[in-house]
Amino acid sequence: MITESETRPALAARIAALIGNEAADLLIGSHGGTRRYIPSARRLTGGHWLSALIGPEAAARFCDAFGPGHLTLPRHPTNRADRHRLIGTAAGPAHAVARRFGVTERWVYACRAAVRAAHRARA
């Protein structure tokens, strides 16, 4: 179970370590900022929204760690620069990244270009 003293960035990092970055992006991207009921792993069914979203194995690990009970999922970073960096460094084709973050493919390309430019400036 989650403790109230745990901060939101720490919670997001804990979720990503538990279920993987891509599954955490899907979960937080689609349900971040909302309070959801997390069942126990043994009550989790294949048709449950969590299993359908992140897969049955990741959902079982998530439910073992956070269920049963309600959990307010953290939001994606609200800092614009952090969000640009996350989009720019996300793995996968631009259309998949755009769908995952709820932005256009063109925006993904722009964020990736900005990340590349920042790396070149540091080098």
pLDDT, tens digit (0-9, with 9 covering 90-100), for 63-90: 999 999 999 998 866 567 777 888 898 8
Residue 1 maps to a domain: no
Q: How many domains does the structure of the chain reveal?
A: 2
> Both 15 and 68 in a single domain?
yes
> Both 66 and 19 in a single domain?
yes
> Both 93 and 68 in a single domain?
no
Q: Residues in the chain, how many?
A: 123
Task: Note whether 73 and 30 are within 8 A (CB).
Answer: no
> Both 65 and 27 in a single domain?
yes
pLDDT computed for residue 77 by the predictor: 60
Residue 105: pLDDT over 70: yes
pLDDT, tens digit (0-9, with 9 covering 90-100), for 34-72: 899 999 999 998 789 999 999 999 999 999 999 999 999
> Both 57 and 88 in a single domain?
no
